[in-house]
Amino acid sequence: MRELLHGASGTQLLGNDYWDDFNDNFWKTSNAGFWKLERIQSFRESGNGSWGAFLRGDWAESLRLMEEQRSALSTYYNKIEDHGFRTRRVRVVEKPICPYLQWELHFLRLRDELGGATRVVDLHQVAQFESSGMLPEIIVLGSEVMYELVYDETGLQQGGIRFTDKDLIKRWSTFISELYSSSEDIQTFFDREVAGLEPPRGD
């Protein structure tokens, strides 16, 4: 699927240029909705206190700080609903689950509870699409805008490449939605694969 981006004309946006563009377009998302494909197994979550506690090895504090975000996240997803769209995310999970991903799956489960629908696929389900390289990180906003997310070598997001070609956006939204349809509910996956894990050590 990465080959779908080869030759596609996009605009690279870094730092605040990306975030300003994304936030402006996000709140204009049509009822076709927000779709995200998340493939990389470990990121840096600069500014997230729960992630910081996880890095320090304080798992109980990490979970406490995560739970403190419940009210703000609930408000956020209610605002999204008021704007007339939904968010859906497909998370690729490799096993054994790495420490960062164990932390993130807790956070994604919380998002899912509050309206940020998330489903999980394993590596075998996407292997057939990775013959030309790992799937990119993609966000689709309705039928108008798509971003390939850009990260540095440490997993810190630097920005994204914005695409506006409607045929390209349609192909990616269809691909992600089909993965979503064949994936597993995060709550079920979490109960089976994550809930019983020992507290992770920071990456």
pLDDT tens by residue, the chain, 203 residues: 656 676 788 999 999 999 999 999 999 999 999 999 999 999 999 889 999 999 999 999 999 999 999 999 999 999 999 999 999 999 999 999 999 999 999 999 999 999 999 999 999 999 999 988 899 999 999 999 999 999 999 999 999 999 999 999 999 999 999 999 999 999 999 999 999 999 998 76
Residue range 2-42+87-194, CATH number: 3.30.870
- Beta strand 116-122 with 87-93 is parallel
Find the radius of gyration of the CA atoms of the chain: 17
pTM, full prediction: 0.94
- Which is nearest to 65 in space by CA: 79, 45, 80? 45
Q: How far apart are CA 100 and CA 55, in angstroms?
A: 9
What residue spans define the domains of the chain?
Answer: 2-42+87-194
- Which is nearest to 77 in space by CA: 36, 110, 49? 110
User: Greatest CA separation found in the chain?
Assistant: 47
